[in-house]
Amino acid sequence: MTDVKIQLVDATYDGAIIMNSSASQFSAIRIERSMVPIYAQDLNYPGIYFLLIGPDTVYVGQSGIDVIGKRIMNTHSGTIDSDWHTVLAFPCSQSSISTNELLFLENAMCEYAIKHYAKCATTTPSPKNCNASYRNSHYRLGGGSIKACNQYLKDIEHFISLFPNTIFPPLAATPTVSVSATVPAGPTVPLVQTELFYFINKKRDVSGKAEIEVNLGHTKKRKTILKAGSKVSANVSDAFDSSDTVRALRDQLEKAGQLVNRVLQIDLPFDSQSGALKFLNGTSLNGNECWKTVNGDKPLKQLL
């Protein structure tokens, strides 16, 4: 598998990553827990997933008869539900993949996790049963299915190998505060504080995230950065004043290869939260009402 396409959503391997290949039925996507609603469409497939816990622990699971996006938000054993911070999922575009094939793959990836990471938090299958001999005989698969599954495993392991250091993203360090005995004189300059927000409109097939300033009081406009990976609407309504401006900007970005198949390839700055939303949704909406925090689903207006 040599034609892997890698999308670094934040232009770095530290953030969200999407990988796919025309030579494989599987793809790979790594996103933070808070971003799962935004990437629901990418997770709307059966497949295998890793829940990453701390800097070195992996829980391996499979979707069963459900899809990955729903399965990872269901109940897991112990403290896994509260502890995992990132999901590395391997969705399968072949919806006919069977539960036994997924169990076969889960077994193999548990064996992989046990060998490559400090701890595998999966308890079923047990470590002693995570081996080729057990899975070849236990899951009632024919020779053709086993051969296909072993190829899927090679594809998944190849996706994993493309991470330059580790599949674990760097965890935010706890900030430290140092106190100086001497405070220099002069005016106090407030630091610009931003929060990460998301917006989803399933009816218009729109999803996006943005960094928005939040410490400006009740000003009408606040600088907003629409993040790469955001998906804009298929059309722009004529029912608002700046519709022509939105169309022109979209055309400009498409010609520059910065808006591809309605997906933004760059971080795009706007002068206001509502302006970014008009570009994203193709209609006029109230940014204070519609942008919501990725942690807590609070509308922007509550942070003003």
Give pLDDT, residue 14. 87
Coil/strand/helix, residue 193: coil
Give pLDDT, residue 48. 98
Q: Alpha helices, DSSP H only, in 162-223? A: none
CA distance 237 to 268: 21
The arrangement of strands across the sheet holding 57-62 comes to: 5-8, 17-20, 28-32, 84-91, 47-53, 57-62, 119-120
Give pLDDT, residue 216. 64
pTM: 0.60
Give pLDDT, residue 67. 94
The strand pairing partners of 52, in sequence order, are: 58, 86
Give pLDDT, residue 193. 76
CA distance 25 to 27: 7
Give pLDDT, residue 77. 84
Q: What is the per-residue pLDDT across 128-146, written as a single tens digit (0 to 9) for each?
A: 999 999 999 999 999 999 9
Domain segments of the chain: what residues? 5-161, 194-303
For the chain, residues with pLDDT lower than 70 are 1-2, 172-192, 216-219, 304
Give pLDDT, residue 172. 58
Give pLDDT, residue 304. 67
Token reading at 76: 């897991």
Q: What is the per-residue pLDDT across 184-197, written as a single tens digit (0 to 9) for each?
A: 444 444 455 788 89
Residue 15, CA distances (Å) to 7, 148, 170 in order: 10, 31, 9
CA distance 188 to 228: 34
Token reading at 62: 């499979």
